[in-house]
């Protein structure tokens, strides 16, 4: 991540943290004051959103560090460790909210006294929906601009927080209308939403950490660049991998055997430079050249 992109990420996360602090405090106050289990669960989720934004901020800062003697390929993967932490935090939060909701339902069915949620819980839910949807679009725009998966994960965490406020709104409204169990049922629905998003974010982070290959379109674009040079007789091997958001390319190509060493080296350099110029996410490109040998068509990759 460039220094300019890092500045954008730091600015966005700082603003997100400030908003989350105020919103979480208001939700928690409203949940306790208005006696709403769904709103208290919603407030806890906002607090987890605040914590994970801090994790994302730290992860982006570390991943932006330059290469050093101990980390010669850079620190990009730290961003995806941050994403994985966000996913785990989301999952734990979702399970906790679900367990609390089930516990409240058991208490109600056992004859525990029910206190109708106050109007402040409704106000807090509406505020949560509006604010978190705004934060989602703001962070999402920045994440797409600087191509940051960690920031995008944080954006979706905000969207899920907004969805939990929708569940809280419906639950509190139903409870106030005479359906006391609805408040706790809303907590369970919120739990399902949170866990689903956590699994999606976590799987994507694991794919990026474990060097997943590039998509077919990118691979074919690289192949097309190489084969656009008439001197290239075939591609013996073409391998790609994602390290964080950056692409690593390894290719073995066969050139006409009667080319001079200088000419072959020039062609290889041109291919290397064109790949890195046309695919700006490529961090490292290794082209290995060998003389072309006549072999059967079945083994000719080109």
CATH 1.20.1510.10 for domain 3-209: yes
What pLDDT is recorded for position 299? 43
Q: What percent of the chain lies above the pLDDT cut of 90?
A: 8
Highest mean pLDDT: which range of 169-173, 174-178, 223-227, 295-299: 223-227
Work out the mean pLDDT of the chain and round it to a whole number: 79
Residue 250 β-bridge partners: 239, 286
Q: List the chain domain ranges.
A: 3-209, 216-299
Which runs of consecutive H residues, i.e. helices, occur in the chain? 3-33, 37-63, 78-109, 119-146, 149-176, 181-209, 216-227, 261-278
Short-list 37, 44, 49, 29, CA closest to 185: 37
- Res. 83: pLDDT tops 80: no
Would the pTM of this model clear 0.85, i.e. be above it? no
Highest mean pLDDT: which range of 72-81, 105-114, 190-199: 190-199
pLDDT digits (tens, 9 = 90+) for 222-262: 999 999 988 888 888 898 887 666 788 999 988 887 788 88
What pLDDT is recorded for position 157? 75
DSSP string, 107-128: HHHTT----PPPHHHHHHHHHH
In angstroms, what is the C-alpha Rg of the chain?
26
Q: Which fold has domain 216-299?
A: Alpha-Beta Plaits (3.30.70)
- Res. 137: pLDDT tops 90: yes
């Amino acid at each position: 991540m460039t220094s300019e992109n890092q500045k954008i990420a730091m600015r966005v996360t700082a603003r997100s943290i400030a908003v989350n602090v105020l919103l979480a405090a208001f939700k928690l106050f409203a949940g306790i004051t208005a006696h709403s289990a769904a709103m208290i669960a919603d407030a806890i989720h906002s607090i987890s959103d605040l914590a994970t934004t801090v994790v994302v901020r730290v992860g982006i800062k570390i991943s932006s560090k330059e290469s050093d003697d101990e980390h010669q390929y850079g620190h990009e993967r730290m961003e995806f460790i941050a994403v994985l932490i966000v996913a785990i935090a989301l999952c734990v939060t979702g399970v906790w909210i679900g367990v609390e909701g089930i516990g409240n339902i058991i208490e109600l069915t056992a004859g525990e006294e029910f206190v109708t949620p106050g109007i402040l819980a409704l106000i807090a839910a509406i505020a949560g929906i509006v604010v978190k949807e705004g934060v989602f679009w703001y962070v999402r725009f920045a994440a797409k601009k600087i191509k940051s998966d960690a920031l995008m994960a944080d954006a979706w965490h905000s969207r899920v927080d907004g969805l939990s406020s929708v569940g809280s709104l419906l639950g509190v409204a139903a409870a106030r209308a005479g359906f006391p169990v609805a408040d706790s049922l809303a907590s369970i629905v919120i739990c399902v939403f949170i866990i689903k998003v956590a699994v999606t974010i976590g799987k994507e982070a694991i794919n990026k950490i474990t060097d997943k290959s590039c998509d077919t379109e990118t691979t074919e674009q690289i192949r097309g660049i190489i084969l656009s040079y008439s001197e290239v007789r075939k591609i013996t091997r073409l391998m790609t991998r994602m390290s964080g958001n950056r692409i690593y390319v390894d290719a073995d190509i066969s050139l006409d055997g009667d080319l001079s060493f200088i000419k072959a080296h020039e062609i290889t350099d041109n291919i290397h430079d064109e790949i890195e110029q046309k695919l700006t996410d490529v961090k490292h490109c290794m082209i290995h050249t060998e003389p072309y040998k006549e072999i059967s068509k079945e083994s000719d990759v080109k």
